[in-house]
A and B are shown apart, each in its own frame.
Chain A
């Protein structure tokens, strides 16, 4: 007899196979995942809404399709969706009071495609307001706790998505990654987190934060699950003019190699980021140790490992925060209480705008709108925003030069394991520096994947990141697959699991 609970604890691929073989129905899986999502919501604050009706309808459709001979790649796989990504008929608050009561009119393209691939949406996950944060402490609806240690943050801004997958509520979640919001929580929760090449996944149906960065990404327990979900989501979309028209690269073939092959990475050139050890804000000793160990694992698998410098990585945090906040100040101008969201205040139209925004936005969102407005304002634009754009271009050229020497760059995803709730809450700059290793790839539009690399001395997950040139996802998945095989972090179960 099939153990439904064990299936939901494991990789999405095995669960889909059980649904194809009709050992379990998608409806049975959805029912258990909904119960676990409710438990995870109570325990960690990871969900903002549970989608029982949507899940029941989608699961019934999967069972019908499987019954008629279809084999959707993610048949019956429960999916958690970050609350800044639209699912038709469900609330989209993006973690903000200003969108309280807003119900999405249609599915985001990435959701539509994952549902077509067989996924069943079980709920919307908590996140930092509008994706602005690295700890999930900026949600208007409460903090999310890390299932590995509930006194610590899960990372952000896709903290609810990460906590839901880590706690075994769902095998798969999607989030948005503007400056690391998929990769960093993945690292802090022992998950695989993928930020695709800019434009590879459509952004139709996302609540925009910073449009020259925003990408939808996937959080999964295994590299293969992440690759299957990426394949389902990726591809051109006429509703997103920034989506890439080129063919989606094949990321599944490189993972199909037989286990135990001798030196499978022979011929691959890996560069260790030279600036990693001198990162501003410091590098945690256990993270540094696993960085070197991971380099050793890749070398043992046949890769040629050297050190490579990307000098302007040291400038990435200022460039990112000047650019992303400027874009946010423009994108968030649409929240004025006129067409949707919660309207507050009385008086003139200007009074309504100001009161709606002042009462609807949280402190971090206001801080970023002010910073971005300052960077774009008359008298300061050249010195701040325009200079940041030029340094951004310089950083992209640094990466191009590095990729003439190596095929991919390895560095930690986060400079430290999960920190305690409240540890950086009063120091925005310290919080921004938590993004030191994730914002460089975002600034250059490059694909990057965080993969579990092991644990700190006190049992906290640590992730390593692989960054490649545009469209190098097949290589990045291959390298992450090798790390997954050899690092020994796969299948570890957090104390806070809801199963």
Chain B
């Protein structure tokens, strides 16, 4: 199938990516070629395809409390930190 500019834009929105017009055009061509190639999987008859088995359950480790405070390394890696919290642009605003 063809991955046209509209579909590229929809998928980019879902993935929180912004593409320039040039990037978008290049992606459309490349993704179309890749996806059309991958459609070879349709050649396998449905009756051969069983649902994949559920993965084995993960083993659990003991539930032990740990210090959840932001340590020095987390603090030094954070783009912006204030009073032990990550700072982000305002999300909730008062409507005028």
Contact = CB atoms under 8 A, between A and B. Distances in A.
Contacts of B88: 338, 349, 352
A369 interface: yes
B44 A366 contact: no
B78 A321 contact: no
B58 interface: yes
B49 interface: yes
A390 B51 contact: yes
What class of interface size applies to chain B in its complex with A?
35 or more
A406 interface: no
A109 to B, nearest CB: 13
A358 B44 contact: no
A2 B73 CA distance: 42
Interface residues of A, number: 61
A355 B18 contact: yes
Contacts of A105: 71, 73-74, 77
B52 A315 contact: no
B69 interface: no
B34 A371 contact: yes
B89 interface: yes
A389 B41 CA distance: 11
B44 A393 contact: no
A358 B27 contact: no
A419 interface: no
Given A319-B41, A329-B15, A393 B53 contact: yes
Contacts of B78: 339-340
Interface of A: 101-106, 238-239, 241-242, 245, 312, 315, 318-319, 321-322, 329, 333, 336-343, 346-355, 357-358, 361, 363, 366-367, 369-371, 373-374, 377, 384, 387-394, 428-429, 432
Interface of B: 3, 7-8, 10-12, 14-19, 23, 27, 30-31, 33-35, 37-38, 40-42, 44, 48-53, 58-61, 71, 73-74, 76-80, 86, 88-89, 91
